[in-house]
Amino acid sequence: MNFDTIIIGGGLTGLTAAIASAERGERTAIISAGQSALHFSSGTFELLGAVDGKPVTNPVEAMDRLPDTHPYRRIGRERMLSLLPLVQPLLSRAGIATTGNHYINRYRLTPLGKIKPAWLTLDDFATFDSPDRLPWRSVAIVNIADFQDFYPTFLARGLRDHGVECTISSTSIKELDNLRRSATEMRAANIARVLDYSAVCNLAGRIKSVGRGADAILMPAVLGLADDLMVSLLRRLVNKPLYFISTMPTSVPGVRAQMMLNRYFTNLGGTLMAGDTVTGARLDNGRVEAVFTNNHGPEPLTASRFIMATGSFFSHGLVATPSSVIEPVFGLDVDYPADRADWFSKNIGQAQPFMEFGVRTDDSWHPSIGGNTITNLQCVGSVTGGCNPIKQGCGAGVALLTALDVTTPRL
């Protein structure tokens, strides 16, 4: 089967690259083994939260202080400034509405009541202009009875530290009784699947009554798995500011983002090969001619260009053996220290070096095998390394911008 562009990996990086290619009319396919890191999303796409451990207010300015190896530095300031404005409209074309901008970080609430920098946040999550001043005097935190993956007490403690009065309550509706019979299945995604039109109408009534008197209502993100219809419905019915707080994974808003991007790509005519793993390739003369997958067996999947967005260790884009770190599909060259002792820090709270490992690429993201560049393959997103998404708060930014860098023609 032949395509113009084949993308390996269907997480945020792969989907962004695929959408950009398909929108330009290229015949595009995504091959993706299993689901991606979007399923753990907090509801915020981060651009740059901290440099050298210090919080960042203005991401564009702070980028200059990042090490040379960081993907943003490699894209370069000018190019970054031309790509950044493309992100929010792309998400919005897929139906994902966000708040935020790249000039100045906004702030969001973590599930434990901490306040963190945010770039683009899903519209149904609260964001603030300032990390020290919250826009509410009082909030009502409303949990779903017996839902364990949400921590109202921690959240309330964090909010009270910022001078916000909190009430905590939990509520339920009969539609959830069935689910409640099994403690292990009382999960955010399963709740979201039960909350249909009539259930949401009932829920809205309950929330309204416990939220009376508060400036805003906060509840766990347990609504809207495939699209945001039920989210809008509940917010409209409650008729006062209502925001979601992320829960323990799996993240409902993350799954929703994944599904909406998948759907948009498919509607553009793109081919999504979900649940399939690229296992090998045929190379000739420094070019990938075809890739082979578990499902398609001997059938070669050919394209003129390939984009590799296979993620990091969690997604098996990189695999650590006791003595080496490898890229399992092509055996691409990977940057990591030779001595295993330098791979990690024993202090679990410190920055972990292994998070920065990645496939070695040239200025335009072409990888190499044994030092020989592959000219029609580019590696983008978290498989490339060079950054620490947790410490620097740059995971989604690296995914989105490296993907756009390889799919947006230079003027």
Binding of residue 29 to ligand FAD (CB under 6 A): no
Distance (Å, rounded) from C-alpha 39 to C-alpha 364?
29
Pick between residue 54 and residue 181 the one whose CB is nearest to another protein. 181
| Binding pattern for the stretch 30-69 against ligand FAD, x by CB under 6 A and - elsewhere | -xxxxxxxx-xxx-xxx-----------------------
Asked if 271 interacts with another protein (CB under 8 A), we say yes
Q: How many angstroms separate the CA atoms of 401 and 234, rounded? A: 33
309 part of the interface to ligand FAD, by CB under 6 A? yes
Stretch that binds another protein, among 16-24, 47-55, 103-111, 183-191 (CB under 8 A): 183-191
Is 71 a binder of ligand FAD (CB under 6 A)?
no
Question: Would you give the end-to-end CA distance of the chain in angstroms?
Answer: 32
| From ligand FAD, another protein, none, interface partner of 62 (C-beta below 5 to 8 A by class) | none
Sequence letter at residue 39? H
DSSP state of 40: G
**Interaction between residue 324 and another protein (CB under 8 A):** yes
Token output for 16 = 């962004």
162: contact with another protein by CB under 8 A: no
Q: Does 103 bind ligand FAD (CB under 6 A)?
A: no
Examine residue 9 and tell whether it contacts ligand FAD (CB under 6 A).
yes
Output the smallest distance, CB 214 to another protein, in A. 31
Q: Is 238 among the residues that bind another protein (CB under 8 A)?
A: no
Tell which one of 104, 210, 237, 259 touches another protein (CB under 8 A). 259
Strand 127-128 versus strand 106-109 pairing type: antiparallel
Assign 276 to helix, strand or coil: coil
234 near ligand FAD, judged by CB under 6 A? no
361 contacts 378 by C-beta, under 8 angstroms: yes
For 267-400, list the strands marked E by DSSP. Answer: 271-274, 278-284, 287-293, 301-308, 319-320, 325-326, 334-335, 358-359, 368-369, 372-373, 377-379
Amino acid at 336: Y
Closer by beta carbon to another protein, 73 or else 263 = 263
Over 234-265, what HEC string results?
HHHHHCCCEEEECCCCCCHHHHHHHHHHHHHH
250 binding another protein? (CB under 8 A): yes
Contact 98, 120 (CB under 8 A): yes
Q: Shortest Cβ distance from residue 176 to another protein (Å)?
A: 10
- Is 381 a binder of ligand FAD (CB under 6 A)? yes
The token pair that represents 203 in the structure block: 């829920």
Strand partners for 278:
293
Q: Is residue 222 within 8 Å of residue 144, measured between CB atoms?
A: yes
Map tokens 């434990």 to a residue: 112
Number of residues that bind another protein (CB under 8 A): 51
Give residues in contact with another protein (CB under 8 A): 1-2, 29, 33-36, 39-40, 178-182, 184-185, 187, 189-190, 193-194, 225-226, 249-250, 255, 259, 263, 266-267, 271, 273-277, 293-299, 314-316, 321-324, 340
